[in-house]
Amino acid sequence: MKKGFSQWLQKQNPDIVCVQEIRVKEYDITDTLKHIGKFTGIFHYAERPGYSGVAIYSKKTPDSVITGCGIDEIDKEGRFLQAQFGKLTIVSVYAPSGSSSMERLNVKFQFMKSITPKLKLLMKSGSDVVICGDINIAHHKIDLRNWRNNQKNSGFLPQEREWLSYIIEELGFIDVFRKLNKEEGQYTWWSNRGQAWKNNVGWRIDYQLASPSIANHAQSVSIYKQSRFSDHAPLIVNYKYNL
C-alpha cells in the first residue's frame, strides 16, 4: 500500500484482484485497507501474526464467500479464499514456499496432496473457475532463468512440477498465461538478492489456472512491471466474460 497499490488498483480498474501474503490480522484491517475506491476486500488471515494470508478485492459483492478449504493445516496459515460471483468461482491461493527448510518442504508437499481433491471438486462443480495466486512452482525450464542450477531446489523440484502437470493435464485446468504467451523471460518473481530484478533473473511462479469454460475466453495476458509493489509482479488476464 505504501508503494502505490491503491492508486494502481483504481487506475487498472479490474473486476477482481487476488492478493497473497498479506501478512495482517483482522485487527490490522482499517477502512483504508478494506475499501479502495470502488473495491471492497475480503480476507483470510493466518493464525500467526505477520504471516501469510490471502485476499480478494472486487467491485461487485460476492454472492458467497468460503474462508479456507476445510483442511486445518492449510487454513491455519490463511492460504485459501473462495468467492462466488454467479457462475464464476474465484480462488485466491498461496502455496507454501518450501525453500527455507526440509520441514517446510514437507509442508508444501502435504499442501499439494491435500489441496488436489478440492481442486478436482471445483473442476467438476460446473462453475467457471479461476485459481489465482502464488503457486511457488516454476512449471517448465522456460519459467525460470537459471533452471539448471535450481533442479534440486524447492520451486523447481520434479515432484512439484509433476504435481502442477497433473493439475493441468489430468484435472483439466489451463495455465492461462502460457495459453496466450509462449515467450521466454516472462517472470512474476525476483529475489531481492543481488541484481535479480535489474537483470530479469526471475521465476514465473504466479498463475491463473482456469477451467476451459472461462480460459477459452481469455483475450490478453501481461505482467505489470512499470511499478514494483513487492518481490512479485501483478499477473493480469483480460477475459471476454460477463460478470
**3-state SS of the chain?**
CCCCHHHHHHHHCCCEEEEECCCCCHHHCCHHHHEECCEEEEEECCCCCCCCCEEEEECCCCCEEEECCCCHHHHCCCCEEEEEECCEEEEEEECCCCCCCHHHHHHHHHHHHHHHHHHHHHHHCCCEEEEEEECCCCCCHHHECCCHHHCCCCCCCHHHHHHHHHHHHHCCCEEHHHHHCCCCCCCCEECCCCCCCCCCCEECCEEEEECHHHHCCEEEEEECCCCCCCCECCEEEEECCCC
> Active-site positions?
134
